[in-house]
Amino acid sequence: MLSTLLLPLFLLFPALTTAVPGFVPYKELTCSEPIDIYADGEPIPDNKLKIDHAITEWDSHAGGHYYDNLTFPEAAISGDDNGDAGTQFVYWGVEQPDPGCQFIMMKDTRNGWQIVSKMPGTEILRVAQEGCYYTPLTAHDGLITSYCCGQGDCSIAEVEIQAETPKDAISGESPACTVKSTAASPTIEDGQQIAITRPQTCEAAPACTHSIQLSTTVTTAVAHFNSYTWTSEVGTEVSFESGVDFLGAEEKMGSTFSSSLAQSWMDETGRTVTVGNISAATEGNRQMPGTVAFYSFVPHYECWKADLDCGKDSNGNEVILERISFCQPRLSSTGEADGLFRMVYISG
């Protein structure tokens, strides 16, 4: 794949580069007044958050470089009485990424993330060009730096582009699957970050706002990280690709193999497809002048893992689908989707 070939030059040829790239904090938009940064009260070496792990390094580095309990004593603090009161104004000087690569900054939410989302945190900055970029932070935030290269890997981080649904195919009647075992208690997971406004350039002071105009819902999801292909005893060919399938409205039930699995789990547990709305009347947080950004939402899910028995294949072997996750969006008392809103700043 192209994405596996486009590795940054500092990894391919470390002797040719003087330093690992990173995010360097500054006090203002021109990135001319550097400020100090501390993690757990200790100065960060070279005052730089290193960008040295890829978004796809899930097993070795959990998708990025983690920095806990960050403070910026010299950063200006908003004194406004609105929702961003106490926000620190931090700007980041970033060098030019290699061709086809992007640098990423995320906030660490402490929730699980490897079931519904492939992002280890909520994205707040993603750049493909050198420059000086703003992020709103609060004292003691945890940040994660990462990078991606190539269309395949960067599609994980490009949250303003809707992800493709994993493909499944059935040549005939769907095999009847039953729940063999299921977890008694769910884990709390971050869902896929969703762009709920289009990117816009903010030019007018003091700030710009985003009105949510895109109709967005979050729904029950089936997540599976193994692909399966088999022929059933009656000759039905089944292909089940790894990924996350969001079931949506009830009419989708039964139209895909994922929905058939979900129906088996719901029959066993008594649950139903859940749909949560993101209010179209919600006013987005303020965007700083001189920036390009879009507003996003990270839904929270409750996820149960289960093993399913799907009968036997054409050779008489049992077909067991292991550790399939069934995830329900958490809802507020008003029926709105529960989660976090985030402004995502980009290089345009």
Q: CA–CA separation, 149 vs 101, rounded Å?
A: 4
The pLDDT tens digits of the residues spanning 147-201 come to 999 998 999 999 988 666 666 777 777 788 999 988 888 999 999 999 988 899 9
The rounded percent of the chain whose pLDDT value lies above 90 is 47
Report pLDDT digits (tens) over 60-93.
889 999 999 999 999 988 755 444 556 888 999 9
How many residues appear in the chain? 348
Rounded Cα distance, 324 and 307, in Å: 6
Specify the range with the lowest mean pLDDT, choosing from 65-74, 167-176, 205-214, 240-249. Answer: 205-214
Q: Mean pLDDT, to the nearest integer, of 240-255?
A: 70
Question: DSSP for 310-340?
Answer: EEEBTTS-EEEEEEEEEEEE-B-TTSBBPEE
pTM: 0.85
